[in-house]
Amino acid sequence: MDSKKSILLVLLLATLITLALGQTRVGFYQTSCPRVETIVQTAVRSAINSNPTIAPGLLRMFFHDCFVNGCDASILIDGASSEKTAPPNGFLRGFEVIDAAKTQLETTCPGVVSCADILALAARDSVVQQNFLTLQTGGASWQVPLGRRDGLVSRASDTGSLPGFNEPLNALIRKFADKNLNTQDLVTLSGAHTIGTASCLTFSYRLYNYNNTNGPDPSIDPTFLPTLRNLCPNGGDGTRRVTLDTGSVGNFDNSYYSNLRNRRGVLESDAALWNNPATQTLVNRFLGIRGLAGLTFNVEFGRSMVKMGNIELKTGSQGEIRRVCTAIN
């Protein structure tokens, strides 16, 4: 047997093992669609160069997809009662990026690459491109295991599994545990807010009438409160977007955790990470506090993204490979 046949046999065996075990793997499309990563990266780069807010949008979209029936691109399906229509998904953006990449891939290698894998790659590439725009070197990146297939169901009623911005920390920890993600994953993945924004609607209740006290959330830094109130006046435009990482707009770094320590977490779910001893310790580890084993945000974020990307996999003969990402075949 010549060397080329031997290599093909090894790749075939690896693919069969992957399908049998229901796992993803790096290099899944090495022979069937070798340009997949380049094509997705090009689509993401073009979109973010035109509109930098697409970067956190793609990250959030992947998160919202994986937490509802697994990472199966069900978030992309159109329909009167699909996941897209649920209130938690109302501000998602970046769908056109996935569509653009899929269109190109269907021309290059039709019927091969799943929308779920495109979304997983786009989430990674959004971080890489954000690092490039802000001239960061050595920023977060990770290899993306591939081989997901697209789901056949998308129901708005299933989105209750999504962690909420105003849920108690114990509820958030439980929702992560339900997806085989631990408390460190919760603190790590919350770090995506380093490039995110939130609407005033999602946190202004903390500024004026927290828990019906007619006053602000006492956990907010009093010197930070006027800034938030100026951005979100009482009774003002609830759709106005506010950065979640004050002082580090657009930089994918661990400054988000510094803001938590300084009681400048914008969302209640963010602030809660500092108000609990267990999660506060993890925040301090990301900040490199002396006496604690340090955690490197760029490294840990990639690890947790890979872990999240394996939630409730559909592989092998499960699901399908959609021809267009917005509709089941």
Binding site for Ca(2+), by residue number, is 65, 68, 70, 72, 74, 83, 194, 245, 253
64 is catalytic: yes
CA trace torsion 17, 18, 23, 25 (10° rounding): 130
- Could you report how far apart the first and last alpha carbons of the chain are, in Å? 40
Q: How is 127-153 classified by DSSP, letter by letter?
A: HHHHHHHTT-SS-------B---B-S-
Taking the C-alpha atoms of residue 328 and residue 37, their distance in angstroms, rounded to an integer, is 23
Binding residues for heme b: 193
The alpha-carbon radius of gyration of the chain (Å, integer) is 21
Binding residues for substrate: 163
Q: Which of 24, 28, 61, 64 is catalytic?
A: 64
Q: How is 28-62 classified by DSSP, letter by letter?
A: TTTTT-TTHHHHHHHHHHHHHHH-TTHHHHHHHHH
- Helices and strands in the chain, H and E counts: 13, 2
CB 145 within 8 A of CB 313: no
As beta bridge partners, residue 241 has 199
Catalytic (active-site) positions: 64
